[in-house]
């Protein structure tokens, strides 16, 4: 089955959200257009408790985008975003979710962040997505969404390590830091990830 994994197309990552990805709303019609080209469509949501360790507001004398160390790894401190049950955590209202067969939520453990759709940042706990896909005998995975340089990037790297053939849909994704993402794209290509555009699907 041809499978599409849509990462975190949520209100808080839109231009009016608390952690805006530049032009993040522009990918919504592209994602809606390509969904019919896939047999299986899966969505993910950042789904944080309000006391999540990655929120700068939960650290005294720290500011948004400061970097600290958690579990022996660097951790960027973010503005509060995608808090469970809030409007910001909902999917963009224009996103077509009717074809979503499943939604995987991540970042639910307040003690560790989870960029990837497959694991938390310490690879301590699986979301169950690998097992779900392998149970359906999925071998190829097309990935898109927000933000391309963070949650999409870490998801597709984990997918590759889990044995899937991976495709990144470039025009159905936007990066928080577009310049940084150009470097990451070169890395993705070197690892064997194919970069495609929606019109070629």
Give the active site residues. 8, 106, 151
Q: Could you tell me which of 190, 55, 62 has the C-alpha nearest to residue 112?
A: 55
Tell me: the pLDDT tens digits for 77-122? 999 999 999 999 999 999 999 999 999 999 999 999 999 999 999 9
Mean pLDDT score, 40-62? 97
Query: To the nearest whole number, what is the mean pLDDT of the chain?
Result: 97
Q: What is the pLDDT of residue 67?
A: 96
Can you name the CATH fold of 3-48+91-200? Rossmann fold (3.40.50)
The domain spans of the chain are: 3-48+91-200
Q: What is the pLDDT of residue 46?
A: 98
CA distance 16 to 20: 7
> What's the pLDDT band for 165 if we cut at 50, 70, 90?
very high
Q: What is the pLDDT of residue 129?
A: 98
Neighbouring residues of 194: CB distance < 8 A, sequence distance ≥ 6: 166, 167, 168
- β-bridge mates for residue 141, sequence order: 3, 166
Q: What is the pLDDT of residue 71?
A: 85
Q: What is the pLDDT of residue 7?
A: 98
CA distance 44 to 65: 23
């Amino acid at each position: 089955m041809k499978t599409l994994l849509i990462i975190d197309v949520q209100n808080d990552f839109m231009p009016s959200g608390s952690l805006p990805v530049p032009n993040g709303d522009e990918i919504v019609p592209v994602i809606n257009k390509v969904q019919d080209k896939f047999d299986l469509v899966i969505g993910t949501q950042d789904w944080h408790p309000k006391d999540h360790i990655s929120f700068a507001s939960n650290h005294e004398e720290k500011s948004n985008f400061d970097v600290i160390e958690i579990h022996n790894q660097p951790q960027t401190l973010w503005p509060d975003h995608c808090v469970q049950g809030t409007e910001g955590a909902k999917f963009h209202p224009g996103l077509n979710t009717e074809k979503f067969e499943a939604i995987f939520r991540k970042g639910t453990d307040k003690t560790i962040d989870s960029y990837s759709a497959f694991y938390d940042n310490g690879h301590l706990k699986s979301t169950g997505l690998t097992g779900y896909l392998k149970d359906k005998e999925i071998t190829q995975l097309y990935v898109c969404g927000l933000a391309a340089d963070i949650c999409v990037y870490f998801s597709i790297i984990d997918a590759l390590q889990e044995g899937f053939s991976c495709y990144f849909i470039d025009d159905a994704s936007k990066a928080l830091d577009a310049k940084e993402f150009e470097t990451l794209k070169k890395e993705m290509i070197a690892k064997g990830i194919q970069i495609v555009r929606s019109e070629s699907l």
